[in-house]
Structure 1
């Protein structure tokens, strides 16, 4: 285990820059993520980021600790757009704010992935468009494994999670939050931080308070998805 980056009250200290052979500036990447995190949550971050290969995924987030595998070192852009923002948002969504009951994985993982997507949209809209298309294609490829979002739990099959949580769940957030500006998204995150232990009922109520059509969203998460409808919703509103 190697401590690479120490962040205290949003101030970054480079301890061991394992990405140093890459010409792009690690500090610029990380400070951009931290700046957006503070902007959209209103919170300052304290966390240590470690290189550690003995983890069950490419990267994971625990309270004030983030771990990533060495296999990310040679794909720095991927690490800094698709892994580090996700794990940094998990410091709030999943570590400070807990989700309980039905729909927990959707609120925990799909919403965190959506926040990462908002960050990518903030930095590079062309890249965000490509990433949305990638998620849509992944959903199409795995649609036979789709189940109602509300039914997914920690014991669900991996391909069900890929189809339902990592793909359709993220796309639904993108569609329904299309017209949610940063002010109202920040308001939602502040409300979640106050509640701390969030059920699907509370989550949808907060969504309603920022203008989301909760009746339609509730129907979508309680039923199997439709690829053509999802695709139409994305292309109609964004691409």
Structure 2
């Protein structure tokens, strides 16, 4: 769900946003200040309900606001160009987590032109995907901002940087992987990655504690739960390549609408499997396909939905059966039937740029049919389920 800043009657450009983030002990305090090019009489925005709002000012004067759930409404007695919001919440000691998925800042409508400048002061070391310049930070999409507590760089078990084809691995990370040539493994994977994706990859991989998932890919930053450090090769071959692919599929190209999780997760997982096939051979590939088949069969009982109808609120066994199991097998079938190959897949991925990097299942199937010269309604009906079709 995208939460929009709603400005009555007309669209207003936001040329500059300044934010102060202060983490002291268990208190997280944030001040958000936006300067508008045009004057406003009222404004609505969304903010996570875990935050307590202390003060809202317009042009340096305090104003009354109404709050209902996530929605905050402010109305001034006169037109204003500047709004400031001060709010806070209690987190755990030595804990700082601002991750995508919650509304940590009054959100900005997609398409509006703005820059956000941040000052971050914290009692604990942290990692962020905001660009640092002289101790200050900047980002142009607050919905993708990450600020997370972690060990200092020289104390991280995982500390990897990828820039283009260059791979930098810290000494503790090299020690963690032992005899495995991590830099060499990543270099081999990057050959595969760049055979499909044209944009240079800029990404850091770091470990943090209590992430609650094994790994998550954020823009230019992959966070890994500390528990993965106990099994580094599992992390490397089961999670890392998958999360790196998400830098393109999911973060650069966004999938929308019904069936988006098949494109987001099943396609990403299958691409990782295609790389591992080049790395370990056909026998490994066949064993992994059997694993996905077993995953489907072990979890499909009681599931009365299709791949295209899956939504994140559904039970985990539905996700395992349809997206992790059947969804991966569906992409393999497309390859087996020679409907798709790596050349066609590269053409598909290149065409995402022409679509504004926003891709629906309908668009994906239409493009695939065009490049493959095949009619796909039978495959879609049997394997994927209903598609949102434009009238």
Q: TM-score if structure 2 supplies the norm length?
A: 0.54
| Cα deviation, residue 19, structure 1 | 4.8
Over 3 Å counting, the alpha-carbon distance change for 1:210 and 1:118 in structure 2 is farther
The match for 1:215 is 377
CA contact (8 A) 2:300 2:317 kept: no
Residue 109 of structure 1 corresponds to 265
TM-superposed deviation, 1:75: 2.6
> Paired residue for 1:237?
none
Residue 143 of structure 1 is matched in structure 2 by 300
Question: Paired residue for 1:134?
Answer: 291
1:37-63 superposed Cα distances (whole Å, 9 cap, x missing partner)? 012223321101111123231111010
C-alpha change, 1:13 and 1:139, in structure 2 (3 Å) is: same
Q: Which runs of 5+ in 1 are unaligned?
A: 224-239
2:169 aligned residue: 14
Aligned-partner SS, 1:42: coil
Q: 1:182 to 1:53 in 2, by over 3 A?
A: same
Task: Give the secondary-structure state (helix, strand or coil) at the position aligned to 1:18.
Answer: helix
Q: Which residue of 1 aligns with 2:183?
A: 27
Q: CA deviation at 1:16?
A: 4.6
Residue in structure 1 matched with residue 358 of structure 2 by the alignment: 197
2:362 is aligned with 1:171: no
Q: Higher helix fraction: Structure 1 or Structure 2?
A: 1
Structure 2 partner of 1:187:
347
- TM-score, normalised by the number of residues in structure 1: 0.86
Please tell me whether the aligned partners of residues 210 and 226 of structure 2 are also in contact (alpha carbons under 8 angstroms): no
Contact map agreement 1:37 1:43 (CA 8 A) in 2: no
1:96 to 252, 267, 276: 252
CA contact (8 A) 1:184 1:210 kept: yes
Equivalent position to 1:53, from 196, 203, 209: 209
Give the 3-state SS of the residue equivalent to 2:308 in structure 1: helix
Aligned to 2:225: 69
Q: Is the Cα–Cα contact under 8 Å of residues 204 and 214 in structure 1 kept in the other structure? A: yes
* Deviations 1:177-218, CA, capped at 9 Å, x for gaps: 233332221111111243211111111112212326521221
Q: Quick one: structure 1 residues 194 and 25, their matched pair in 2 at CA, closer, same or farther if it must change by over 3 Å?
A: same
More strand by share: 2
- Evaluate the alpha carbon distance shift between residue 78 and residue 127 of structure 1 in structure 2; reply closer, same or farther with a 3 A threshold: farther
8 Å CA contact 1:96–1:193 kept in 2: the answer is no
Provide the C-alpha distance between the structure 1 equivalents of 2:308 and 2:268, rounded to a whole number of angstroms: 17
Q: Which has the higher contact order (CA 8 A, sep 6+)?
A: 1
Q: Which runs of 5+ in 2 are unaligned?
A: 1-149, 151-155, 387-391
- What corresponds to 1:234 in structure 2? none
Residues 193 and 83 of structure 1: is their aligned pair in 2 closer, same or farther, counting only changes over 3 Å?
A: farther
Q: Greater Rg, structure 1 or structure 2?
A: 2
> Secondary structure of 1:144's match?
coil
In structure 1, distance between residues paired with 2:369 and 2:194: 24
Please tell me whether residue 86 in structure 1 is matched to residue 242 in structure 2: yes
